[in-house]
A and B are shown apart, each in its own frame.
Chain A
Amino acid sequence: MESGRQLFERLSKGEPTLRPAFAPLLSRLVSRVSGVSLRDLPSDPPQWASALVRTAELLDVDGVAFPADVSLLAEACGCPVSWEDGCPSVAGPAAPAEAPEQRGRLKSALDVASRVFPGVRAKRGCVSVLTGPGTLVAQLFGPDGVSRLPEVKPIFVRVSELLCKERPDVICLWEEASSLLPQGELPAACRRVYNTIRNITSYYSIPLAVALVGYEPEDLGTVADLGAEIIIPGPSAAGVLMTAEEVLDRGATDLTLGLPLPMDDLPRAKEHLGVALRARNAGRLRNFFLTGFEPGTRDFDLEGLQQLAQEIRSTFA
């Protein structure tokens, strides 16, 4: 059976695989497995790293997607963060700080990635996840901040290169559609920033993914203009996860797909799996992997998630 490492290697080369890789976001789940809150984990990078590895092994996932926290970069740039039910969210604007990679939880997260990725790489894929420029500029300057995109470009140059040096298999930028596509259109300034990021990831031969949330279905085709090789369509504006066929019907066929499964609704996750299998057998879905887009709460059904991982293996066997 193909290991997660082999699956991700084939994915990055655009080669077919016997089954899709499964790489859910492991943010809150890591907190649960370690017994340490998300707020406290960053203060102890070795513990955080160890917890991440243990979680990946517990679920036997094919890839480690980290750090899946939309507030990290904004906080490092100076934004205040509020905590609710143990989960962070950006609480206000800020002027971008110098050297955000040296600040706050982001610094710890980068440290953890440098510890974890070399170790897990032999068996599993590694996905670096960070806030995208469209979303960051909205977090820093508010919903009308798109004109200030050039100010965040140096941040992404530095952070992209730092992430690339850890040689992940994919770099994923998380974008809120309302920020990335104000008035439903992709700003030229955003295209330029993405072009720079794309040039950097291309130098390191690392595919670039865009994870989009809060979008209208017709927005999916626009994402292709960013130059990303992978699209991960998260919950739409209606709060719904689209199935494989729904995504393909929207025309996003040239890109590699990261299909998120509803991790808080396992029966529905199995339905999505079935749709993906049908699409693959029909030849519509070639290169794709599976992920989990809703990070679980501390009460998340861990056993259910383990079963889901098993189900994925058996469905595509």
Chain B
Amino acid sequence: MGFNVNIDIGGTFTDFFAIRDGGDVRIAKTPSTHYDLSVGFMKGMQELARAYGLPASAFLSQTEAVHYCTTVGTNALIERTGPKLGLITTAGFEDTVFIGRARSWADGGGAEANKDLSRIQKPIPLVSRDMVVGIRERIDCFGKVVCPLRREDVIEKLQVLVDRGAMGFVVCLLWSFANPGHERMVKAIIEEEYPEDYLGSMPVTLSSDVSPKAGEYTRFTTAIVNAYIHGIMGEQLGHLVNELRDGGYKRPLLLVHNTGGMKKASRTRAVLTHNAGPVAGLHGSLTDGARYGQQNVIFTDMGGTSFDIGVITGGRLSTYDFIPVIDRWRTNIPAIEVKSIGAGGGSIAWVNEFLGGSLEVGPRSAGSMPGPACYDKGGQDPTVTDADLVLGYLNPDNYLGGKMLLDPDLSAQVIEKKIAKPLGIDVDEAALRIRRIVDAKMGQEVFSEVVVKGLDPRRFVLYACGGAGPTHACGFAPYVGVKRVITSPFSPVFGAFGAYTLPVRQVWEKSKAMKIFRWADQAYSEDAEGFNAVVHELKDVALRDLRLEGFSEDQVEFRLELEMRYGMQYNLTKVVSPHLTVYGPTEFKDICDRFTEQYSATYSPEATFPRGGINIECFYLTASVKSRLHEPEALPLRGPSPPDAARAGSRKAHWAGLGGPSETPVFVFEALEPGNTLTGPALVEARDTTYVIQPGWRFTLDPYRNGILEPAWAAVRPEEEEKR
């Protein structure tokens, strides 16, 4: 009976979700060990082994798959531990990455930093200006060679970079996505000059391989970011793979991608691993939501460091981030959009003297070291977890299933020193305010995210995931306006659970401009060959790649999306193509109709502009192999009253509007039965989280052991609202 193990590394905790054939699940959480991520990783594996009653070596040797959401690359980028790279570009365009694109100084800067115009600066480039050389060559927008490449010029410029200490090369030439010939020639020259079997051999990254798309700034940046983190990721993941192998796991390590799929580490581009955990969590909510027939889901994950938000509409992950920013770098990877803000259990509460002594929470986090004050690792700053502990919501002896004992006195001390005294209030009031502020921050952010997309949050269900999700769901959900909140039993490790639900999948993309509708003669394109050539090229690459993953062609499913626009308009709309292959104007008309429909839904029917003609700008082919997931069985419903075994006494907890602390019933999650209903105020302690049911809320355990939270005022369910 093999195990499928899924790992998600977060800013504070590393989460584990393991499932054995037959559906036997175990979860684990260990503090993230940023000094060496593999330490926390292996600790968690050992914990899972213990949970299954096996020695670590037996557990690992019986593990059939390890799926990993890693932050190694992102950390390397933030910490600037990458190699010294040399950039080879078209002569005259050496300053492309330094000029940036319009407001690129604000990319990834955060709302607060971007408002401080007197201080905001462009980030220090990953490739310094003296490490950029231009070579005389030119290819036009149709892929035609205008100025041929000269070998002598390349060798001369290469030597300049080597003399200046380059440890790797990134080759980014204009229009290389239309004709990669020159980039490939440069690579061949480099490999001739510095063959692999020589000590001087250096890695070469081509922008036409990493990102064959229009827009040189984002294409160059994507290639540079990939090259920058590639080596470090390879080294650290190699070390991890060796540790796993020594421990008994001999199969490949699969990495989760931010495009909503996963592949073997050896066949993953480094840049696709950024923000993979939240994307996995989003996919987890898609999978779980489908069980309820939920088409519209708001996914939230409140961890220790950040609060992630994603939106699912029409039962599909269709929201792409059009400006995916990795650290401070705008890229063009087709990442699924998940927004993150600095609001988590470890977010630090502080008094902002510059704003008249107002209380703020985050974005700084105490992380895993030192962590909240109550972790007793020397933390001196009050955090959201400290507030929750002081308010009586958390059980200091049962945090993380009792693995970590919390010290409420330390929480009270730091809250008093840093918040209560400066504000002239008592500790309990300070803790209540900390909680209120972080809940408001999260709730308002969710509301904005949904509404800005033109959606009505009242028509959505909200998934409250993350270790702190169930603890704060009743606090932030009212700001969103949803009537139903779902908390999975795997909430504390939802990113890892989400990784389990992901298929092996990759998105293959290529820019190619095609006009498929001309207003002047009201004619649709007849260039089926041109369209199909791109699709076939992408399909061939995808199939070859998936064959190397061990899959045959008949196991692969394809989906084609097209980035399209009206002629003379700037913004692009992504559309799922109704056809994988076209034969003539009929199919092109279908594509245009789909585009018009999508555009109208997004911007309004009156905004359509067919007079400009309709263009395709980029092709995205998603190739995936469906995974077989264990389907949990629906357990029979018992009555609404929890059994005696689920009752765990009571403790004093603070509830807004109820005066001082009041005795609050406490329940044990594992002993609750499907159908049991609790009315707030109440606390439900699970192994790795606590459900805080506020007054005015009702908690029901459903047949899948999901906790359903509903406010008392919500008389109607979303699906009933739809029917009206």
Contact = CB atoms under 8 A, between A and B. Distances in A.
B674 to A, nearest CB: 38
In order of increasing CB-CB distance, the 6 nearest A-B pairs are: A157-B378, A199-B377, A196-B376, A200-B377, A199-B376, A205-B39
A138 B672 CA distance: 52
25 contacts: A153-B378, A157-B370, A158-B378, A161-B369, A161-B378, A165-B35, A192-B376, A196-B376, A196-B377, A196-B378, A199-B375, A199-B376, A199-B377, A200-B369, A200-B370, A200-B377, A200-B378, A203-B31, A203-B33, A203-B369, A204-B35, A204-B39, A205-B33, A205-B39, A205-B43
A40 B618 CA distance: 70
A203 B368 contact: yes
B381 to A, nearest CB: 13
A195 B407 CA distance: 11
A165 B34 CA distance: 11
Interface in B121-176: none
A142 interface: no
Nearest to B32: A203
A199 B406 CA distance: 11
Nearest to B380: A154
Interface string B378-417: 1000000000000000000000000000000000000000
Contacts of B43: 205
Contacts of A160: 378
Interface residues of B, number: 12
Interface in A133-164: 153-154, 157-158, 160-161
A203 B378 contact: no
A193 to B, nearest CB: 10
Nearest to A154: B378
Interface of B: 31, 33, 35, 39, 43, 368-370, 375-378
Given A195-B376, A205-B33, 6 more contacts: A157-B370, A167-B35, A196-B376, A196-B377, A203-B31, A205-B43
Nearest to A160: B378
A271 to B, nearest CB: 38
Interface string A151-189: 001100110110001010000000000000000000000
Nearest to A200: B377
A59 to B, nearest CB: 30
A98 to B, nearest CB: 14
A113 to B, nearest CB: 16
A304 to B, nearest CB: 39
A180 B514 CA distance: 80
B369 to A, nearest CB: 6
A173 B696 CA distance: 53
A160 B376 CA distance: 13
Contacts of B35: 165, 167, 204
Nearest to B36: A167
Contacts of B31: 203
A169 B370 CA distance: 21
A165 B376 CA distance: 18
A157 B375 CA distance: 13
Contacts of A203: 31, 33, 368-369, 377
Contacts of A157: 370, 377-378
Contacts of B376: 192, 195-196, 199
A299 B370 CA distance: 45
A115 B377 CA distance: 26
Contacts of A153: 378
Contacts of A154: 378
A90 B624 CA distance: 70
A165 B368 CA distance: 15
A192 B43 CA distance: 25
Nearest to A204: B35
A192 B35 CA distance: 25
Contact of A204 (B33, B370, B375): B33
A167 B36 CA distance: 10
Contacts of A200: 369-370, 377-378
Interface string A193-214: 0011001100111000000000
A229 to B, nearest CB: 15
Interface centre among A153, A157, A165 (most CB of B within 10 A): A157
Contacts of B369: 161, 200, 203
A122 to B, nearest CB: 15
A203 B43 CA distance: 11
> Which of B33, B39, B369, B376 has the largest count of A CB atoms less than 10 A from its CB?
B376
A160 B370 CA distance: 12
A22 B39 CA distance: 26
Contacts of B378: 153-154, 157-158, 160-161, 196, 200
Contacts of B33: 203-205
Nearest to A158: B378
Residue from B31, B35, B43 whose CB has the most chain A CB atoms within 10 Å: B35
A149 to B, nearest CB: 14
A173 B269 CA distance: 46
A83 B31 CA distance: 44
A127 to B, nearest CB: 19
Nearest to A165: B35
User: Most A CB atoms within 10 A — which of B43, B368, B378?
Assistant: B378
Contacts of A161: 369, 378
A205 B368 CA distance: 14
A199 B31 CA distance: 11
A188 B247 CA distance: 40
Interface string A221-236: 0000000000000000
A157 B368 CA distance: 15
A245 to B, nearest CB: 31
Counting chain B CB atoms within 10 Å of each CB, the highest count among A153, A157, A203 belongs to A203
Nearest to A193: B376
A167 B38 CA distance: 14
B614 to A, nearest CB: 57
A83 B583 CA distance: 94
Contacts of A192: 376
A154 B31 CA distance: 22
A119 B273 CA distance: 33
User: Which of A165, A196, A199, A204 has the most B CB atoms < 10 Å from its CB?
Assistant: A199
A148 B377 CA distance: 19
B550 to A, nearest CB: 34
B66 to A, nearest CB: 20
A165 B370 CA distance: 13
Contacts of A195: 376
Nearest to B405: A195
A161 B377 CA distance: 10
A183 B100 CA distance: 70
A167 B43 CA distance: 16
A195 B35 CA distance: 21
A192 B413 CA distance: 15
A274 B35 CA distance: 41
B489 to A, nearest CB: 28
Contacts of A204: 33, 35, 39
A153 B369 CA distance: 16
A200 to B, nearest CB: 5
B95 to A, nearest CB: 40
Contacts of B377: 157, 196, 199-200, 203
A158 B380 CA distance: 12
Nearest to B31: A203
Contacts of B370: 157, 200
A105 to B, nearest CB: 24
Nearest to A156: B378
Nearest to B377: A199
A15 to B, nearest CB: 12
Nearest to B39: A205
Nearest to A195: B376
A205 B38 CA distance: 12
A131 B376 CA distance: 20
A196 B375 CA distance: 9
B520 to A, nearest CB: 69
Residue among A154, A158, A167, A196 with the highest chain B CB neighbour number at 10 A:
A196
Contacts of A165: 35
